[in-house]
Structures are given as C-alpha cells and as structure tokens.
Amino acid sequence: MTIKAPDLEWLDGDVPRAQGFDDTYFSRAGGLEETRHVFLKGNGLPGRLHGRDTFTIAEFGFGTGLNFLTTLVALRNVPDAPALTFLSFELYPMTADQLRRALGAFPELSELAQDLIAVWNPEPGWNRLNVAGARLLIGIGDARELIAEIRLQGPESGTEEGGIAPVDAWYLDGFSPAKNPGLWDADLLKAAARLTGPGGTLATYTAAGWVRRNLQAAGFTIEKTGGFAGKREMVVGHKPDTEED
Ligand SMILES: C[S@@+](CC[C@H](N)C(=O)[O-])C[C@H]1O[C@@H](n2cnc3c(N)ncnc32)[C@H](O)[C@@H]1O
C-alpha cells in the first residue's frame, strides 16, 4: 500500500473538506465543541476516566487528530488520570502541514498539536506513537481490513504487544454515512463490538437509520440524543453487561 494524503479544500479559511468524500472533517459550527458534545459527553467522558488505571478509546477516522487531542486535554484535568490507549484508523493520513493548518484553528490544542506533529510519520500498517504520555496506536489503511489484526489482551492474544485491553469507548467518526458507507459497514461494526468490553460505550454524530440498524445487529444497545449545533439527533450506545441488560 502506498500512502495517499487527502486532497483538501479549506472552508471558512481553516475547516478542511476532503474532496474525495465531499465532506468536512468536523462541523463548521465549531470542531472542538462538536467533539466535546458528541464524542466526549456522548461517551460519558471525562467522568468515566476517574478511578481507572487504564482506559481504552477507539475511533474510526483519525482525520486531523482533533478528537484525540481534545481527549488528551480532558485527560489532563483528571487527577490520577488513567493510562490512555487510543486506537484509531486512517486510510488517507494528512501530511504534517495539513495537520498543522487544521489544528491551528484551535489555540487551546496548540501545545499538544505540536507534540503530535513532532512524531507524525505515518507508515502503512500499525504505527505506535507516544503523545504527551498517551499511547496512540494508529492503523494506516482501510479500517475494514486492519481491524481483523487487532487482538484483545490475554494469554492467547499472540500479538507482539499482547493485544489491547477491551475498548471502553468508541468514537464513530467516518464522513457522513451516505458519502463514506465503508466506515459504517455492518461487518466493521460487528468487529468493533467484539473488541468492546461489557458496558463499553459508543457515540456518533449521525442518526442515520441503517447505521443504527447495523449497530444494533452488532449487539449494541443504542438511543438517540440531542445532536450538536442545531442537529436534532445523534446516537449513543453501549454493549450490554449481560444478556438481560
Ligand atoms: C470525519 S473524518 C474524521 C475526523 C477526525 N476524527 C478528527 O478528529 O479530525 C473521517 C475520516 O475517516 C477516514 N476514512 C474514510 N474511510 C476510511 C476507511 N475505510 N478506513 C480508515 N479511514 C477511513 C477519512 O480519510 C477521514 O480522515
């Protein structure tokens, strides 16, 4: 696989839009606030970070790294914060210059953005980075293929690093389902559910009917809740603790 950076257009000066998908990476109404509303609050974060030794977040679509860095900011404000593993996937990794421009719109993230860009050198397959003490495991390639290579920690995990701990929270952040159906694929969401621990949660900005059905078929219990910036609905969910949950 050769790496292909996205072809971008910049809306309102600093909101990247992928020409190949005809969609923006985050809301023009405010990317940082959207991340906090949809992905953090939607997954009960930062509250659920308290009292944990380790915490695992997984994401479909690393994009600009905005979700990752916003999570690191939240983590910094948690006393005795857990060791974070952040697993993400990206088929079209941005160049360092593209990241710099996209993240430059968020002064609050500037220090962490520099830390990310300093170690950013995406290679096909698995990239293991350390950003401000968090472990960033990023699969460069198609999430539908790479997810099959992830093993959960355990005596039989057989992977070099012994696998990952079960996912506590998912950020489902593909481009809109109509434009990027592959990242909302039924088999991909089933694979995500298999990697999720009991009680693990998900959040996504879309409430598209077929995405909800794929999530339910994968075994998640879901509900609609209020979306960001005038969007009536988004979806949150969890993997039941027990059959009866
Ligand atoms: C809405 S953007 C993600 C925004 C990102 N979470 C952020 O914080 O900036 C969707 C991302 O999914 C990526 N993507 C689309 N299809 C993919 C696939 N099949 N496998 C992996 N990544 C994919 C796109 O290249 C894009 O970066």
- Determine, yes or no, domain membership for 1: no
Closest ligand 1 atom, residue 142 Cα: 20
pTM for this predicted structure: 0.96
Token digits for 226? 């209020």
Q: State residue 15's pLDDT score.
A: 96
Instruction: Report which protein residue has its CA nearest ligand 1's atom 27.
Output: 63
| DSSP, residue by residue, 203-245 | EES---HHHHHHHHHTT-EEEEE--STT---EEEEE--SSTT-
- Determine, yes or no, domain membership for 21: yes
pLDDT confidence band for 161 (50 / 70 / 90): low
Quick one: which of 6, 12, 13, 107 has its CA closest to 64? 6
Contact by Cβ (8 Å): 217, 190: yes
- Any ligand 1 atom below 6 A from CB of 235: no
pLDDT confidence band for 148 (50 / 70 / 90): very high
pLDDT confidence band for 243 (50 / 70 / 90): low
Closest ligand 1 atom, residue 24 Cα: 1
- Determine, yes or no, domain membership for 243: no
- Give residue-wise pLDDT tens across range 176-192: 999 999 999 999 999 99
Contact by Cβ (8 Å): 168, 201: yes
Q: What whole-number distance in Å separates Cα of residue 45 and Cα of residue 42?
A: 7
Closest ligand 1 atom, residue 70 Cα: 8
Contact by Cβ (8 Å): 135, 85: yes
Which position has the token pair 């210059």?
Answer: 97
Q: State residue 101's pLDDT score.
A: 97
Q: State residue 157's pLDDT score.
A: 52
Token digits for 115? 């830390």
Instruction: Report which protein residue has its CA nearest ligand 1's atom 18.
Output: 142
The amino acid at 87? L
- Determine, yes or no, domain membership for 167: yes
Question: Taking all residues of the chain, what is their mean pLDDT, rounded to a whole number?
Answer: 95
Contact by Cβ (8 Å): 225, 66: no
| DSSP, residue by residue, 52-104 | -SEEEEEEE--TTSHHHHHHHHHHHTSTTPPEEEEEEEESSPPPHHHHHHHHT
- Determine, yes or no, domain membership for 191: yes
Residues of the chain with pLDDT > 70, as a percent, come to: 96
- Any ligand 1 atom below 6 A from CB of 170: no
Q: Determine the distance separating the centroid of ligand 1 and the alpha carbon of 198, expressed in angstroms.
A: 26
Q: Determine the distance separating the centroid of ligand 1 and the alpha carbon of 174, expressed in angstroms.
A: 5
Question: 3-state DSSP call for residue 141?
Answer: coil
Q: What whole-number distance in Å separates Cα of residue 69 and Cα of residue 102?
A: 12
How many domains, the chain?
1
Backbone angles phi, psi at 227, to 5 degrees: -85, -175
- Give residue-wise pLDDT tens across range 53-72: 999 999 999 999 999 999 99
- Any ligand 1 atom below 6 A from CB of 63: yes
Closest ligand 1 atom, residue 6 Cα: 25
Contact by Cβ (8 Å): 44, 203: no
Give the CA count within 13 Å in the CB-facing half-sphere of 125. Answer: 2
- Determine, yes or no, domain membership for 50: yes
Q: Determine the distance separating the centroid of ligand 1 and the alpha carbon of 25, expressed in angstroms.
A: 8
- For residue 89, is pLDDT > 90? yes
Looking up residue 86, the CATH number of its domain turns out to be 3.40.50.150
- Determine, yes or no, domain membership for 98: yes
- For residue 242, is pLDDT > 80? no
- Chain-centre distance for alpha carbon 184: 13
pLDDT confidence band for 87 (50 / 70 / 90): very high
- Any ligand 1 atom below 6 A from CB of 182: yes
For the chain, what's the residue count?
245
Q: State residue 162's pLDDT score.
A: 63
Print the domain residue range for 57: 8-238
Q: Determine the distance separating the centroid of ligand 1 and the alpha carbon of 64, expressed in angstroms.
A: 9
Q: State residue 128's pLDDT score.
A: 97
- Give residue-wise pLDDT tens across range 91-133: 999 999 999 999 999 999 999 999 999 999 999 999 999 999 9
- For residue 160, is pLDDT > 50? no
- Determine, yes or no, domain membership for 24: yes
pLDDT confidence band for 159 (50 / 70 / 90): very low
